[in-house]
Structure 1
């Protein structure tokens, strides 16, 4: 297996594409996880980039999660996964830009958890999903936290407790994926959506993402008080920005706004 460059990146305008390309199955070892974290950190810190797409190389696998063969060869399961945690995305702090997962094939275990770390999920029609960790005597930790908050509790628990496989249609039915796309059209659709988001107001996106994170375990009024009191950094920046004024001006002048991100 050749994995000299397991993480490939491409940028066009404000869109940044990250492709996990580690044949045969795009499994993630420590080296790959660190490289993915570096890629997403660079995306987070580059003000010219607005939206990211994460996908897998090839047509069969998005990502099956942790590389068990590498673990058997001494790649520690509890090692240093890099700045963003496993897969570089799910623990990356202050990532206030939209991320789209384009699931091009099998997404199981940590691969499904990687997709769950995105803000939107597009699925190829042939993609399949599972959380099979229970069969190897371990726990899908990130999915155990996230999944019951994303889909009906009893369905999430069934998937976690049985490790069974499910297809794109079922994933869409439970609201786990936003859209199912023919495999040969997946990346075109992902880029179409990414370009749409990249044309939008970046400061508003940042505020939305921070509000959502902050409010996740808060009472409604407590969260609202932090927003209206401008206690969240991104909200405070937004309400004092040129873009905030531009939105009102564009509406009054009946024209499209020109977002500057400041």
Structure 2
């Protein structure tokens, strides 16, 4: 199971990411399951806010893609799981509030960037480690520059370095920073506040706000997938002789 769903009495839904190992990695099937869960919730009446947190000590240590794919079309299908999650969460009628403890790497970093509100513990660490594995994080870059400057985003992608929750707040990735262990409680407090507002006003605020900020560009994300799929397929072909 990629995600646990808990429904609160006031319309707040809590999704807990259930990944692999201590870093809480999510594989392709887990991402597809998460996308389906988000699509189901989008049609659920009575939902007022969505809180997403991670199982254990870490929010998410990143995505684990399928191995040994040598055809660009197969790599693209694997990468498209990320786009399906992004699209499903973007289509939600309520705000997404993240509670981040520990690691938020790769896909976890991207999820943090796209969320409407992010509460991070002081000891949380954010990074785009893809380049340390020889792979540019193009999907994240397809929307990252809505939040951070080009030079900052380029440097974070190039270096793969981890940044603190305080730095992530300063860069515009995180909304607020709380003591270790307190992220979920604060995220639930924010969700309770959202749930107490007029539902239609909240939906319009989120929808118009995201459109005005230009947070969604499916064509650019699809272009990122096409570029990465060719690169990774060629690399796999060389590795297989």
Q: TM-score, normalised by structure 1?
A: 0.72
Aligned to 1:21: 18
Distance 2:151 2:199 in 1: 36
**Alignment CA distance shift 1:191-1:88 (3 Å):** farther
CA apart distance, 1:77:
4.4
Aligned to 1:106: 103
Q: Please show how residues 61-72 of structure 1 align to structure 2 within 5 Å.
A: 61-68=58-65, 71-72=66-67
Task: Give CA deviations for 1:4-47 in whole Å, capped at 9, x if unaligned.
Answer: x2311101021111111223122111221121112211221112
Aligned to 1:11: 7
Choose which of 160, 163, 166 in structure 1 pairs with 2:163: 166
Equivalent position SS for 1:62 = coil
Equivalent position SS for 1:72 = coil
Distance 1:168 1:214 in 2: 26
**Alignment CA distance shift 1:182-1:77 (3 Å):** farther
Distance 1:171 1:56 in 2: 18
Aligned to 1:39: 37
Choose which of 45, 48, 55 in structure 1 pairs with 2:46: 48
1:196 aligns to 2:190 (yes or no): no
Q: Confirm or deny: 8 A CA contact 1:35 1:88 kept in the other structure.
A: no
Q: Which runs of 5+ in 2 are unaligned?
A: 215-241
Distance 2:162 2:100 in 1: 15
Larger radius of gyration: 1
CA apart distance, 1:148:
1.7
CA apart distance, 1:192:
0.8
Higher RCO, 1 vs 2 (CA within 8 Å, ≥6 residues apart): 2
Distance 2:84 2:112 in 1: 12
Aligned-residue CA RMSD (Å): 2.2
Distance 1:117 1:175 in 2: 11
Task: Give CA deviations for 1:36-90 in whole Å, capped at 9, x if unaligned.
Answer: 112211221112111101111001x21122115xx2376x6433578xx428641
